[in-house]
Chain A
Amino acid sequence: MRPIRTLEGGHEVNEVFFTDVRVPASNLVGEENKGWTYAKYLLAHERNGIANVGISNQKLSRLKRLSLTQKRSGKPLAEDPLFAVRLARLEIELRNLETTNLRVLDGFSKGAGPGPESSMLKIIGSELEQNFDDLTRRALGRHAQAHTPEVFEPGYNGPQVAPKNMANQSAAYFNKRKVSIYGGSNEIQKNIITKMILEL
């Protein structure tokens, strides 16, 4: 197993090598050669999860609170018209996604379970979550540059540059570029939509 360090400096993924690994035949999951069918079923569920509506709602609340305490030219960021418009756009997208998500789930409950519609949720949800991290980074202004994970260490009582829960916000923004790549990249999701829903 070889650790892979991600671009912002974290470690959460690994490269795993298998060489002549012996596995008892009784450990075969389901039937032989059906792995991809099972995986696709799981992936459809995973994609619903990646829509992350709950997390985006949390990020929206956090960002709204931040916009009241962050200041530009002495005034709260919330009063900056360009920032307010950016925030309003994201909130509208999120309200729309909540209902799209519920409509898709309603379809699943009446039909045979998750289908290609999950791909829509994955694309919209992943990009929206990225946009929340993007706007939170913007809200921090000059402090977005700070990368100070030391403030989370137990017993740290030194100075803070960015607000405490934002000490790694730009690192989080860069890390979250992954969500439009994993779980089947958003380009792959568009291929699925094209083939399975649009039947082009």
Chain B
Amino acid sequence: MDFQPTEERRMLADMVAKFVQNDYPMKARLDAGATDLGYSPRAYMQMAELGLIGAMFDEDIGGFGGAGFDIATLFTELGKGLVNEPLSDTALASGFILAKTGHLGLVEQIISGKERVALALIENGADYDWTMPETLATLLDGAWQLTGSKTSVKFAYGVDAVIVSARTSTSDGISLFLINASATGMAQHQFQTVDGGSACDIELNRTPAILLGLEGCSYETLDAAAARSTLAICAEALGIMDSIKTMTVDYLRTRQQFGTVLGKFQALQHRTAQMLLEIEQAKSAVTNAAKDLDAPTDERNRAISAAKYSIGRIGCYVAEEAIQLHGGIGMTWEYDLGHFAKRLVMIDHEWGDQDHHLMRYAQS
């Protein structure tokens, strides 16, 4: 296996790194994270114009990438800069579903950054398990209406449309529906997230919706979309860990304590070395998942679950260890580490946590 990135992917990585360095100051990121929207629409549009959304999609649907390694390369670099704009939440999975169900016009709008579409799957009672929606769709005079509730829909505030999973009165299989943001009977409760961002609980009451694909037959499409988003946040976590490692090593090299730099204490050296090798293992897990993103379903899902479990376990460990190695300064808002650590731990709460994926792997 050739582990060197292609020329195109190296250029993509360089472009994102430059964007983060020149146009993405931490203060602006934190300020935007505290708004109802939870991110900067200007930065989102800038990234769309750079082609970063296009990099997540195949050429035949208007993108110029779309492979596992394109997604992994992009999100690793975004993670390094703690970029908050919801490329995975309002473009990646929804764009994939819309492409699979023939809505190419909307995919084009998503790639251009002009339209953002959230994906609402999670319900109270099932939590990480999106395979059993209780939200009910009924057909009335040839038009679909949805009733039910979805929770913790990341970055759903201010989107143009929402894709919602549901069962129908005639099929227990999963169906997917597109709901316009201004549709009647939809109520959103927006709230902030602890990692600096926004999410919504959504109530649907006989809300008009458009069926995507065939009734009751969307499990495969949704599973493939989930795999793409899961890979994206695993790669994001990897980028975050890379930045945390750099911050921690720099701190150990410069912080004086007991008459010498912290990095001279063997107890801390060994812990930092352990952190490094765990991060290398996480990188391999993401590499495996990127490689198998378009493999047969079982193979793909095993690689995705292995990666999400590894990222969940290692991410929480790295976040906690890095704060401890820093000491008091790692506990402060004004030092960047804490913000990276919060996002890293919260990634374990998206698309299934480490226990969820460990069990899925064991049972596959």
Chain A residues contacting B127 (CB-CB under 8 Å) are: 70-73, 141-142
Check if B327 sits within 8 Å of A141, measured CB to CB. no
Check if A181 sits within 8 Å of B328, measured CB to CB. yes
Chain B residues contacting A187 (CB-CB under 8 Å) are: 267-268
Given known A7-B332, A177-B331, contact A144–B128 (CB-CB < 8 A): no
Minimum CB–CB distance from B154 to chain A (whole Å) comes to 8
Answer whether residue A104 sits at the interface, using C-beta atoms and an 8 A cutoff. Answer: no
Among the 9-residue stretches B7-15, B173-181, B272-280, B351-359, the one with 4 or more Cβ atoms under 8 Å from chain A is B351-359
Check if B338 sits within 8 Å of A145, measured CB to CB. no
Answer whether residue A95 sits at the interface, using C-beta atoms and an 8 A cutoff. Answer: no
Given known A74-B132, A146-B152, contact A6–B333 (CB-CB < 8 A): yes
Complex CA gap A136/B185 in Å reads 34
Among the 9-residue stretches B91-99, B108-116, B194-202, B286-294, the one with 4 or more Cβ atoms under 8 Å from chain A is B194-202
Answer whether residue A40 sits at the interface, using C-beta atoms and an 8 A cutoff. Answer: no
Which residue of B323, B328, B349, B355 is within 8 Å of A144 (Cβ)?
B349
CB nearest to A10 among chain B residues: B333
Give the total number of A-B pairs whose CB atoms are below 8 A apart.
131
Answer whether residue A170 sits at the interface, using C-beta atoms and an 8 A cutoff. Answer: yes
Complex CA gap A72/B130 in Å reads 10
CB nearest to B268 among chain A residues: A187
Chain B residues contacting A147 (CB-CB under 8 Å) are: 191-194
Given known A72-B127, A73-B126, A145-B195, contact A177–B332 (CB-CB < 8 A): no
Chain B residues contacting A141 (CB-CB under 8 Å) are: 127-128, 349, 353
Of A174, A182, A185, A187, most B-chain CB atoms within 10 Å: A174
Given known A6-B333, A72-B129, A159-B189, contact A142–B122 (CB-CB < 8 A): yes
Check if A180 sits within 8 Å of B126, measured CB to CB. no
Given known A8-B342, A146-B199, contact A170–B353 (CB-CB < 8 A): no
For this complex, 7 residue pairs linking A to B, each with C-beta atoms less than 8 Å apart, are: A5-B332, A74-B126, A82-B355, A142-B151, A144-B194, A146-B199, A180-B324
Minimum CB–CB distance from B274 to chain A (whole Å) comes to 14
CB nearest to B325 among chain A residues: A187
Complex CA gap A161/B353 in Å reads 19
Given known A71-B125, A177-B323, A178-B331, contact A161–B191 (CB-CB < 8 A): yes
Given known A177-B323, A177-B324, contact A145–B334 (CB-CB < 8 A): no
Minimum CB–CB distance from B333 to chain A (whole Å) comes to 4
Answer whether residue A93 sits at the interface, using C-beta atoms and an 8 A cutoff. Answer: no
Check if A171 sits within 8 Å of B353, measured CB to CB. no
CB nearest to B122 among chain A residues: A142
CB nearest to B346 among chain A residues: A145
Chain B residues contacting A148 (CB-CB under 8 Å) are: 191-192
Complex CA gap A166/B310 in Å reads 27
**Interchain residue pairs A-B with the least CB separation, the first 8:** A7-B338, A5-B333, A141-B127, A147-B194, A142-B152, A82-B355, A73-B129, A170-B194
> 1/0 per residue B310-335: CB within 8 Å of A?
00000010001001100110111111
Chain A residues contacting B337 (CB-CB under 8 Å) are: 7
Check if A161 sits within 8 Å of B128, measured CB to CB. no
CB nearest to B338 among chain A residues: A7
Check if A174 sits within 8 Å of B342, measured CB to CB. yes
Answer whether residue A143 sits at the interface, using C-beta atoms and an 8 A cutoff. Answer: yes
> 1/0 per residue A158-181: CB within 8 Å of B?
110100000000110110011011
Tally of chain A residues near chain B (CB < 8 A): 44
Chain B residues contacting A181 (CB-CB under 8 Å) are: 323-324, 327-328, 330-331
Check if A177 sits within 8 Å of B320, measured CB to CB. yes
Tally of chain B residues near chain A (CB < 8 A): 48
15 further interface pairs, Cβ-Cβ under 8 Å (given A74-B126, A137-B345): A4-B332, A7-B330, A7-B333, A7-B337, A83-B355, A138-B348, A142-B127, A145-B152, A145-B193, A145-B349, A147-B193, A170-B346, A174-B342, A181-B331, A187-B268
Given known A6-B333, A142-B151, contact A174–B355 (CB-CB < 8 A): no
CB nearest to A140 among chain B residues: B349
Given known A72-B128, A145-B194, A145-B195, contact A82–B349 (CB-CB < 8 A): no
Chain B residues contacting A82 (CB-CB under 8 Å) are: 355, 358-359
Minimum CB–CB distance from A175 to chain B (whole Å) comes to 8
Answer whether residue B284 sits at the interface, using C-beta atoms and an 8 A cutoff. Answer: no
Complex CA gap A134/B349 in Å reads 12
Complex CA gap A71/B353 in Å reads 14
Given known A73-B132, A177-B324, contact A161–B332 (CB-CB < 8 A): no
Chain A residues contacting B124 (CB-CB under 8 Å) are: 71
Check if A143 sits within 8 Å of B339, measured CB to CB. no
> 1/0 per residue A32-73: CB within 8 Å of B?
000000000000000000000000000000000000001111
